[in-house]
């Protein structure tokens, strides 16, 4: 069995072929901490959960797995390894990963608690006895770590028969997760030296890695040490926003600049990404872009943090800022499959032109506006969302993975699917169930709050492959599947595994569910159970503003246990005592998509308020109340309405104003030691509300930023936007000059400079034609902290007001402690 070694140039190579190695995969934590406990709460067998998840990790094409071990669940106060259920599950997981051909990087300890997002559970382990920033200097703590690491490396996995340090599937060890070195550099150097000596004494001959993306002032200790690799992280948009972030973040991942790349010893250390994630969003373009950039920076090991266990992924409780699972985030999962191919096929250190030119590279294409990642090679055709791009060589295709529809597959469902060629004229189809989002997955989580729902209804599919032709059979591998209807290349299908066979084909071998295939069995299939829907689930976001003068189309998503008889919209202008109440019937556009067009005569007054009632199985359910009944029943009182303000096309477009209990702006500062605080200031109830922001920070070079998403407002003001030519903002403050501007869907920023007055709120009018392209500030702060905070455009993209997405206000001059800024209304006219 070939193993990995690091050559003198810092390149990971295979021991047999001496070829460069390239790894891509994920972190996954079922043996430990919250994932372990949550599965227990749900009554799920941990090993069966691992079987399901490892199958999906392999299905996505991963060849790498990394875990930071919670030493507090494996060790005692002296650092002795404690055999228990956690260790047994880790052993079992490693064995299952190896069955699928995945390699493993082990971070031996975390040196922190096992609670998040709950409270820590005291275990008596050594890490609970020392502060994380002291474990590297305290002699007793070091001795405990040495004892623990030695025993961990020598531990024999009963499922594989190998000690961890002898296992050919373990490529190496990272000493600890994100160390905190606050003392002298020589103390850090001594700690690393002692740990390496303990590992060598235990018998380890595998590469050892150490983190250098934390504690920048200590990196020399790592590069001077006798380690073989260094580890890095990347969270380009920060963490734990508490909500879904929106915007084009591709400029954020254009480059990964390592400021200490000239450090002595840097070049001959292998580079590994132990954790990365474009957190707090569901976009499917980010992972392939980051994988490309990692390859440009010379990384050979790339592992995302963290893949959600399928059995608790409906809730996203493990790490609310991350969300990734094949069943629950299909577009994102397929994009990870594409990112893996990027890692395997893009040469190490290959550089690309600056964004947006780097959105087309190799066999790959990325589109933020389509939320599309695409791999299009002669043999592989993968797409994360709907695409009209045709395969480059359809006759040579061997593997297809998709979400949505393409020139090859027309599909009405919302789950991911895979098509793999078994032999000429015979394909395996694997189809995941449908999924529908009902809550923001990045808000505060709970194991009682399903953010995603799963459905198993029949869906229409059409497959157009030259190898299959227009007449083929569809054979379910699960004999329980019935009522399959096939008409040429069109058929109805439910989640599961199928064989698609060209008409009159005599297969070269007998293919059954038990046939060995892809390091498993041909009929192997795992998916979550269907969500239990006691009532229909209807989701909809009301537009902040609708424009009068033209009919308006509203869209909804509906998931129900059975097809509804009808879905009706009514406004608040109805009454039980009237016989001619207006109603509007929603039309079904897709499996779960519904739409209704509201006529112009309905869009009168200042606000539109409306409800929707679902009629199904003789029952009626009204939303957004989300309860049984209908507004025209004598005993039903509507408690909630969806509402949209109504505006004439000639009215200004209000982008931000002071109403509400929270600041309308997200607030940032550079550096992060600076910050601003918000206070609502309103002289009287008859005067407009404003927000005053106090600036805090001793660094006089600090910059302060106020940012707001405005795409939803502009989406429904097309006429107003077409005629708008001026950005207006009310400002007062002692901050000095301010940059005021707009960001477009290109991720570019266009600004102009204004000088607010100190004594009164003034209105500043900026002609859109006068906005100039400026560097885009990367907000929030990326991790690690050494990464740049600005993206400098190298391609001139003209300003387009029909592409506006965000509003930005920022200081441009040094601001003294105690300076303040008041922002009133912001609008386009």
- Identify the band that residue 328 occupies on the pLDDT scale cut at 50, 70 and 90: very high
Q: Are residues 798 and 674 in the same domain?
A: yes
| pLDDT single digits (tens) 569-585 | 999 999 999 989 999 99
Distance CA 441, CA 613 (A): 26
User: To 5 degrees, how large is the angle CA 74–CA 76–CA 78?
Assistant: 130
Q: For position 626, which CATH number holds?
A: 2.60.40.10
User: Are the CB atoms for 807 and 666 separated by under 8 Å?
Assistant: no
The mean pLDDT of 399-403, rounded to a whole number, is 98
- Identify the band that residue 486 occupies on the pLDDT scale cut at 50, 70 and 90: confident
Q: Are residues 229 and 340 in the same domain?
A: yes
Spatial neighbors of 809 by CB under 8 A, at least 6 apart, are 665, 705, 706, 707, 729, 731, 738, 739, 740, 821, 823
- The answer to the question of residue 531 being in a domain is no
Helix residue spans in 32-105 (DSSP H): 33-41, 46-59, 85-99
Q: Which two tokens stand for residue 708?
A: 């707001």
| pLDDT single digits (tens) 223-281 | 999 999 999 999 999 999 999 999 999 999 999 999 999 999 999 999 999 999 999 99
Q: Are residues 544 and 472 in the same domain?
A: no
| pLDDT single digits (tens) 69-100 | 999 999 999 999 999 999 999 999 999 999 99
Q: For position 278, which CATH number holds?
A: 3.20.20.80
Q: Based on DSSP, count helices (H) and strands (E) in the chain, helices before strands.
A: 10, 52
**C-alpha R_g of the chain:** 29
CA neighbor of 209 nearest in space, from 1, 6, 347, 69? 6
φ, ψ at 430 (rounded to 5°): -120, 125
- The answer to the question of residue 783 being in a domain is yes
User: Are the CB atoms for 358 and 290 separated by under 8 Å?
Assistant: no
Q: How many CB atoms lie within 10 A of CB 200?
A: 13
- The answer to the question of residue 665 being in a domain is yes
Q: Are residues 446 and 588 in the same domain?
A: no
Q: What pLDDT, on the 0 to 100 scale, is given for residue 697?
A: 87
Domain boundary among 472, 492, 521: 521
Distance CA 427, CA 136 (A): 55
Distance CA 446, CA 315 (A): 6
Q: Are residues 32 and 136 in the same domain?
A: yes
Distance CA 748, CA 797 (A): 8
CA neighbor of 452 nearest in space, from 656, 299, 316, 361? 316
Q: How far is CA 801 from CA 745, 805, 828, in A?
A: 10, 9, 11
Spatial neighbors of 64 by CB under 8 A, at least 6 apart, are 23, 24, 25, 26, 102, 103, 104, 105, 301, 302, 303
Q: In this model, does residue 480 exceed pLDDT 70?
A: no
Q: Are residues 122 and 220 in the same domain?
A: yes
- The answer to the question of residue 532 being in a domain is no
Q: Which two tokens stand for residue 342?
A: 């990027």
Q: Which domain holds residue 298?
A: 4-352
| pLDDT single digits (tens) 140-180 | 999 999 999 999 999 999 999 999 999 999 999 999 999 99
Q: How many CB atoms lie within 10 A of CB 719?
A: 15
Percentage of the chain beyond pLDDT 90 is 92
Q: Are residues 634 and 660 in the same domain?
A: no
The mean pLDDT of 756-775, rounded to a whole number, is 95
Q: In this model, does residue 430 exceed pLDDT 80?
A: yes
| pLDDT single digits (tens) 678-731 | 999 876 677 778 999 999 988 888 999 999 999 999 999 999 999 999 999 999
Q: How far is CA 736 from CA 729, 756, 813, in A?
A: 16, 7, 6
Q: In this model, does residue 483 exceed pLDDT 70?
A: no
Q: Which two tokens stand for residue 488?
A: 């040429």
Q: What pLDDT, on the 0 to 100 scale, is given for residue 683?
A: 67
The mean pLDDT of 282-297, rounded to a whole number, is 98
Q: Tell me, what DSSP letter sits at residue 119?
A: -
- The answer to the question of residue 528 being in a domain is no
Domain boundary among 521, 554, 574: 521
Q: Are residues 410 and 491 in the same domain?
A: yes
Name the maximum alpha-carbon separation found in the chain: 89
Q: For position 381, which CATH number holds?
A: 2.60.220
pTM (2 d.p.): 0.97
- The answer to the question of residue 360 being in a domain is no
Q: Which two tokens stand for residue 533?
A: 């829907």
In terms of Cβ atoms closer than 10 Å to its own Cβ (0-12, 13-18, 19+), residue 473 is: middle
User: Are the CB atoms for 807 and 742 separated by under 8 Å?
Assistant: yes
CA neighbor of 287 nearest in space, from 325, 258, 321, 250? 250
Unique residue bearing structure tokens 């397929």? 334
3-state secondary structure 685-741: CCCCCEEEEEEECCCCCCEEEEEEECHHHHHCCHHHHHHCCEEEEEEEECCCCEEEE
Q: What pLDDT, on the 0 to 100 scale, is given for residue 787?
A: 97
**123-153 as b/e: b if 16+ CB within 10 A:** bebbbbebebeebbbeeebbebbbbbbbbbb
Q: In this model, does residue 30 exceed pLDDT 90?
A: yes
- The answer to the question of residue 675 being in a domain is yes
Helix residue spans in 318-363 (DSSP H): 330-345
Q: Are residues 596 and 706 in the same domain?
A: no
User: Are the CB atoms for 746 and 725 separated by under 8 Å?
Assistant: no
Q: Are residues 643 and 657 in the same domain?
A: no
Q: How many domains does the chain have?
A: 4
Q: What pLDDT, on the 0 to 100 scale, is given for residue 687?
A: 74
- The answer to the question of residue 369 being in a domain is no
Q: Are residues 562 and 667 in the same domain?
A: no
The mean pLDDT of 476-494, rounded to a whole number, is 82
Give the pairing type, strands 584-585 and 545-547: unpaired
Domain boundary among 495, 521, 547: 521
The mean pLDDT of 42-56, rounded to a whole number, is 98
Q: Are residues 316 and 458 in the same domain?
A: no
Q: For position 658, which CATH number holds?
A: 2.60.120.430
Instruction: Name the helix (H) or strand (E) containing 314.
Output: none
Distance CA 766, CA 360 (A): 35
Q: Which two tokens stand for residue 224?
A: 């001077």
């Amino acid at each position: 069995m070939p193993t990995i070694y690091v050559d003198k140039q810092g390149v990971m190579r295979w021991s047999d072929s001496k070829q460069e190695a390239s790894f891509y995969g994920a972190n996954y934590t079922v043996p430990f901490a919250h994932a372990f406990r949550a599965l227990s709460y749900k009554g799920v067998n941990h090993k069966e959960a691992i079987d399901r998840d490892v199958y999906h990790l392999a299905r996505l094409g991963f060849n790498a797995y990394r875990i930071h071990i919670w030493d507090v669940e494996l060790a005692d106060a002296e650092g002795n390894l404690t055999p228990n259920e956690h260790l047994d599950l880790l052993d079992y997981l490693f064995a299952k990963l190896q069955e699928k051909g995945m390699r493993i990087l082990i971070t031996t300890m975390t040196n922190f608690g096992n609670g998040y997002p709950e409270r820590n559970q005291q275990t008596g382990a050594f890490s609970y006895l020392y502060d994380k920033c002291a474990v590297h200097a305290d002699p007793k703590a070091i001795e405990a770590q040495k004892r623990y690491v030695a025993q961990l490396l020598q531990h024999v996995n009963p499922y594989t028969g190998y000690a961890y340090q002898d296992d050919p599937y373990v490529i190496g060890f990272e000493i600890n997760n994100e160390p905190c070195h606050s003392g002298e550099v020589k103390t850090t150097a001594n700690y690393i030296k002692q740990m390496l000596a303990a590992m060598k004494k235990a018998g380890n001959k595998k590469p050892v890695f150490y983190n250098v993306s934390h504690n920048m002032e200590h990196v020399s200790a790592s590069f001077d040490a006798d380690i073989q690799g260094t580890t890095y992280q990347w969270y380009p948009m920060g963490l734990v926003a508490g909500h879904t972030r929106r915007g084009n973040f591709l400029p954020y991942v254009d480059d990964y600049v390592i400021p200490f790349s000239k450090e002595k010893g840097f070049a001959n250390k292998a580079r590994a990404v132990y954790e990365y994630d474009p957190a707090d969003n569901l976009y499917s373009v980010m992972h392939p872009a980051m994988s490309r950039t990692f390859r440009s920076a010379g990384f050979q090991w790339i592992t995302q943090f963290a893949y959600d266990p399928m059995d608790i992924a409906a809730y996203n409780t493990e790490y609310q800022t991350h969300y990734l699972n094949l069943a629950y985030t299909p577009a994102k999962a397929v994009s990870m499959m594409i990112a893996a191919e990027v890692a395997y096929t893009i040469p190490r250190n290959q550089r690309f032109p600056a964004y947006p030119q780097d959105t087309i590279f190799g066999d790959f294409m990325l589109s933020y506006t389509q939320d599309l990642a695409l791999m299009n090679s002669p043999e592989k055709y993968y797409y994360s969302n709907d695409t009209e791009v045709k395969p480059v060589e359809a006759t040579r295709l061997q593997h297809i993975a998709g979400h949505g529809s393409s020139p090859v597959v027309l599909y009405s469902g919302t789950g991911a699917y895979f098509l793999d060629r078994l032999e000429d004229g015979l394909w395996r189809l694997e189809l995941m169930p449908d999924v529908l989002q009902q809550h923001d997955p990045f808000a505060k989580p709970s194991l009682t709050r399903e953010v995603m729902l799963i459905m198993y209804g029949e869906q229409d599919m059409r497959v157009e492959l030259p190898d299959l032709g227009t007449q083929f059979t569809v054979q379910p591998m699960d004999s329980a599947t019935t009522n399959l209807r096939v008409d040429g290349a069109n058929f109805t299908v439910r989640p599961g595994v199928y064989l698609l066979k060209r008409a009159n084909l005599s297969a070269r071998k007998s293919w059954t569910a038990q046939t060995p295939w892809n390091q498993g069995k041909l009929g192997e299939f795992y998916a979550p159970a269907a969500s239990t829907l006691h009532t229909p689930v209807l989701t909809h976001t009301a537009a902040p503003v609708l424009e009068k003068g033209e009919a308006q189309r509203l869209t909804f998503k509906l998931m129900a246990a059975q097809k509804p008889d009808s879905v009706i919209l009514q406004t608040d202008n109805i009454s039980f005592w009237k016989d001619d109440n207006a109603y509007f019937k929603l039309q079904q556009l897709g499996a779960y998509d519904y739409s209704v067009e509201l006529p112009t005569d309905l869009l009168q007054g200042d606000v539109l308020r409306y409800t929707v009632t679902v009629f199904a199985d003789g029952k009626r359910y009204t939303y957004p109340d989300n309860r049984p009944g209908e507004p025209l029943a004598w005993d039903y009182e509507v408690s909630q309405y969806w509402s949209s303000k109504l505006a004439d096309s000639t009215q200004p477009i209000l982008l931000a104003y002071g109403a509400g209990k929270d600041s309308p702006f997200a607030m940032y500062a550079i550096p992060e030691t600076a910050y601003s605080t918000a206070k609502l200031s309103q002289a009287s109830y008859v005067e407009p509300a404003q927000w005053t922001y106090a600036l805090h920070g001793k660094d006089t070079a600090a910059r302060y930023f106020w940012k707001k998403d405005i795409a939803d407002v502009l989406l429904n003001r097309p006429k107003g936007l077409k005629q708008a030519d001026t950005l207006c903002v009310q400002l007062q403050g002692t901050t000095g000059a301010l940059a005021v501007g707009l960001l477009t869907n290109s991720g570019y920023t266009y600004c102009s400079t204004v000088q607010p007055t100190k004594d009164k709120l003034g209105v500043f009018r900026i002609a859109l034609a006068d906005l100039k392209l400026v560097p885009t500030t990367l907000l929030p702060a990326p991790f690690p902290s050494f990464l740049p905070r600005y993206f400098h455009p190298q391609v001139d993209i003209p300003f387009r007001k029909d592409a506006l997405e965000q509003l930005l206000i920022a200081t441009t001059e040094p601001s003294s402690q105690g300076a303040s800024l008041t922002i009133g209304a912001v609008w386009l006219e």
